[in-house]
Amino acid sequence: MTAPALDLLCIGNAIVDILAPVSQETLTALGSPLGSMTLIDAAQAAEIEAKITPEQVMGGGSAANTAVVASRLGARVGYLGKVAADEAGLGYARDLTAQNLLYPSVPVEAADRPTARCIILVTPDGQRTMHTYLGICTEFGPEDVDQVAVSSAAVTYMEGYLFDKDRAQAAFILAAETAHKAGRRVALTLSDTFCVARHHDAFRALVAGHIDILFANEAEICALYGTEDFDSAASQAGADASLVVLTRAEKGAVILSEGKKFVVPTEPVKVVDTTGAGDAFAAGFLAGLANGHGLEACATLGNQSAAAIITRMGARPAEDFALKA
């Protein structure tokens, strides 16, 4: 087996993020559950955008956020995600390459749908409620899996949000099989309880059959294993994946590996915007892993990375982001 050229290759929905602070009353009027992710169409996106004042517009998408933070931590990172060759998509590609990421995905010319966007409404308590118009990114399929890039990455990390369509599910399996054939590891983040509910059986099969490293929060892992008992869900996950990384907000993280369990606390911080907290945690953990850190040290770096993100608006690190893996 050759040495990996990349520490991490992330695969996910390539989405432009539009962040806006809103009142709880505005969110209630939209009928969106606090902290949820709702899929919307183009007309709904236009309606919501007419009611808000954006504070930031930037490249986004869960796995892309992880890729950017991991790169800032010194990891060698690539990203695969589908965009149109429109202004937003070309800007998205330029942004990733400017941040030293390998981005072999080619923007689609004359696409029938535009580059995706996610409207992130942030309430005064720091909670983010997302409304996502997926555009062309949902057309990601097996042909979009760059098998050379996958084979060259120590870990291929896949985003659960992308798992909605059959072709994307086939792409996940192809990526996992390609990575394993090259002697590499495969990671998955469950992303959202609604994703798990929509494709519960397919997620269970993917985790049991193809995933080495599983990331989830408390609600997501309980949804995957159909229980409200966190310890039971964690135990079942540990039987399916060789490394399970579970976040519990202010309770810190729980790591399960080879029959061992580690509980890693986190330090309290003033929350401004929880957008990207899980993405940043995964980035810190995987960057630590790439540098040969122990699991507890990886989780600590994950906690620190998440803390650096949630104390400001947006899911990407600020210029003063100074952590090192």
Q: What is the pLDDT of residue 250?
A: 84
Name which of 113, 127, 170, 180 is nearest 145 in CA terms.
170
Q: Is the pLDDT of residue 315 over 80?
A: no
- Cα distance between residue 324 and residue 321, in whole Å: 9
pLDDT band at 273 (very low <50, low <70, confident <90, very high): confident
d(CA 155, CA 78): 10
Neighbours of 294 (CB within 10 A): 12
Q: What is the pLDDT of residue 176?
A: 98
pLDDT for residue 322 is more than 80 = no
pLDDT greater than 90 at residue 174: yes
Tell me if residue 7 falls in helix, strand or coil. Answer: strand
Residue 124, both tokens: 């005064």
Mean pLDDT (whole number) for 80-94: 91
- 320 pLDDT above the threshold of 80: no
Residue 60 Cα distances to 23, 171, 220, 314, 316, angstroms: 23, 21, 21, 9, 8
Predicted confidence at residue 268, as pLDDT, reads 82
Confidence of residue 91 (pLDDT cuts 50, 70, 90): confident
Helical spans, DSSP H, in the chain: 24-30, 42-49, 62-72, 87-98, 147-152, 166-181, 193-198, 200-210, 218-224, 230-240, 277-290, 295-310
Q: In the 8-state DSSP scheme, what is residue 276?
A: T
